[in-house]
Amino acid sequence: MLSFEYISDPESLAKLVAQYQQSELLVLDTEFVRTRTYYAKLGLIQAYDGKTLALIDPVALADLSAFWQLLSDTKITKLVHSCSEDLEVFARYGQCQPSPLFDSQIAATFSGLGHGLGYAKLVNTFLDIEIDKGESRTDWMKRPLTDAQLQYAANDVYYLYKLYPQLLAKIQQSNRMDWLLEEGERMTEGRLTPPDEEFAYLKVKNAFQLFPQQLAYLKVLATWRLQKALKKDSALGFIIKDHALIALAKKQPKTVIELNQLNDLTEHEKRFHGKELIKVLQTADLDNLPEAVDVIALKNGYKASFKEVKNILIQVAEQHDVAIEFIGSKRLIHEFLMWLYNKQPAEKPLLLKGWRAKLVKDALAAIKFS
């Protein structure tokens, strides 16, 4: 049984923060619940500096500002594992991002251990210990939490601290610490920026199918949905589904009767949002139409160029023992080809930035796509 402190009052939190401020390394993890909400609901924060393993209760503590300040303290390295969702939680509840950031999953990738290595596999690889994941479906907002749940949560930071020296040695041996910290900075970029209502329509699936006039309708619909989702803290799809927005933008019903004839909307969507959707559609700015969504993946030569770039990246990945999925995922290759197609604007794609550029820039120089 692991020993830990359960932090649920301001005095204990202040004492803990004072101790952590003296640390050079702080292991972090969060437990949260996300079902129908736009934002994850934070249920527990785990932290460990090698001396005190703390389970911090954000349900009981109204003010965690002192703890959140630790995340911005650049004297303390923050050790996490596969932290994308944790970063979202930190941004939402703490309006902060951890820096410097050491993600053990990325460190494993840079150390040639494979891409997307899970926490349990990492612990087993370095410590030869099998992690019990039996409490992974816990409702972390429910109180009181059981001993089994608390032990499960404590394990997530305890063993990560224990394996850190070996992982650190590997990343230092490969001279890739700069790469790792660069990835940490990249992962935190833009996390504190609120969702962009103006361009929410571009994230609607199949928006590329629409003509500019239809996009004008989709634009106001998507903005309305995002605003309502944020206000109600509801997942976008639980307000109204993407395919329903596309149908509304295509058909542009003028009355509730016309709207009710659309099979793409559920009865719930029609009943709860029908009148409001008609009003929203009437606000579309048809004098300033959005540009058509240009899908370069449908252009002649795209598939051939994509394959050429991928083959180059595979060779680079093998040469430097870094997973191809990490150097150049499908998304990054597409972003690079989009950059070429748009005549190389000032903002470079990720493939041509930082450590990736050092590996692939020269090899990609001859690629043409227009």
pLDDT at 133: 73
Quick check: is 177 in a domain? yes
Query: What are φ and ψ of residue 321, in 5° steps?
Result: 55, 50
pLDDT at 204: 97
Catalytic center residues: 29, 31, 86, 152, 156
Burial 268-293 (b: 16+ CB within 10 A, else e): ebbeebbeebbebbeebeeeeebeeb
Quick check: is 195 in a domain? no
Rg of the chain over all Cα atoms, to the nearest angstrom: 24
207 and 177 inside one domain: no
User: In CATH, what number is assigned to the domain containing residue 336?
Assistant: 1.10.150.80
21 and 159 inside one domain: yes
User: In CATH, what number is assigned to the domain containing residue 66?
Assistant: 3.30.420.10
50 and 98 inside one domain: yes
User: Omega into 195 within 30° of 0, i.e. cis?
Assistant: no
Q: Which domain holds residue 249?
A: 200-281
226 and 87 inside one domain: no
Of the residues 154, 188, 222, the one at which a domain ends: 188
Q: Which token pair is 250?
A: 């295509």
pLDDT at 1: 83
301 and 277 inside one domain: no
Tell me the C-alpha distance between 302 and 345, whole Å: 19
Query: What are φ and ψ of residue 266, in 5° steps?
Result: -75, 165
40 and 83 inside one domain: yes
Model pLDDT for residues 279-300, shown as the tens digit of each residue: 999 999 999 999 998 888 888 9
Of the residues 162, 188, 214, the one at which a domain ends: 188
CA-to-CA separations, 13 to 9, 20, 58, 67, 90, in angstroms, rounded: 6, 10, 11, 8, 17
Average pLDDT per 10 consecutive residues for the chain, totaling 370 residues: 96 98 98 93 98 98 97 97 96 97 96 92 95 79 95 96 97 96 96 95 96 98 98 96 98 97 96 97 97 88 95 95 92 95 91 96 90
Model pLDDT for residues 258-271, shown as the tens digit of each residue: 999 999 999 999 99
Tell me the C-alpha distance between 40 and 130, whole Å: 28
pLDDT at 249: 98
pLDDT at 370: 72
Domain count, the chain: 3
pLDDT at 18: 98
Residue-by-residue DSSP string for 206-253: TGGGS-HHHHHHHHHHHHHHHHHHHHHT--HHHH--HHHHHHHHHH--
Of the residues 248, 281, 314, the one at which a domain ends: 281
pLDDT at 295: 85
Q: Which of 30, 188, 49, 36 is nearest to 106 (CA)?
A: 188
pLDDT at 12: 98
71 and 158 inside one domain: yes
Quick check: is 370 in a domain? no
